[in-house]
Amino acid sequence: MPNSGNAVQTENHLVSRNLYHFPAISAHIQSFHSCSRLFILTFTMKLALILTLAVVVLVTMNVEQSEAQLGRVLVNIGRKIGGSGKPHQHFQQHNSRKAAENAARNAGKGNKPVQHAPHKPGQSPHYHPADRHGNIIKDGSHHQFPKRQG
């Protein structure tokens, strides 16, 4: 019977102490415990490796999808995507060149807008809002004004 000093003992020590008189059985039990610890350690390491590989695969797949989405977003900053998957174009017709210029300036937060000639036949000349460096803000807006008569 263990005394109060030995009250806190592991199960392994209790088994080996009780079987002290049977050294062959005690050795087998200790060998089994060391083998089971090795098995648990090996299993844990394999499980950690499998989980790590699964996370890497999932993150890689997610990054590839995110990069593709990011590319579309960077090209179409500020534009809503329509049902066809193409960005919306915003054509606002103004009564005069000055009105179109002022509207584009306001859309560009006070920066000087960029003037463009018609891109295709049937289109009107227009202004695009610009940032403080003079680059067109890619929001799809075109502030159109009537062509000159003459």
| pLDDT of res. 78 | 59
| pLDDT of res. 84 | 78
Place of tokens 């054509």: 91
Q: What is the pLDDT along the chain (150 residues), one digit of tens a residue?
A: 455 444 445 554 555 455 555 566 666 666 666 767 777 888 888 888 888 988 888 777 766 666 555 555 545 455 677 777 777 778 889 999 999 999 999 999 999 999 999 888 888 999 999 999 999 988 888 999 998 765
- What DSSP element (H or E) covers 65? helix 23-75
| pLDDT of res. 119 | 81
* β-strand pairing of 126-128 with 141-144: antiparallel
Identify which of 51, 48, 63, 75 has the alpha carbon closest to the alpha carbon of residue 140.
75
| pLDDT of res. 17 | 53
| pLDDT of res. 31 | 67
Whole-prediction pTM: 0.45
Q: Is 141 helix (H, G, I), strand (E, B) or coil?
A: strand
| pLDDT of res. 63 | 65
The one-letter amino acid at 80 = K
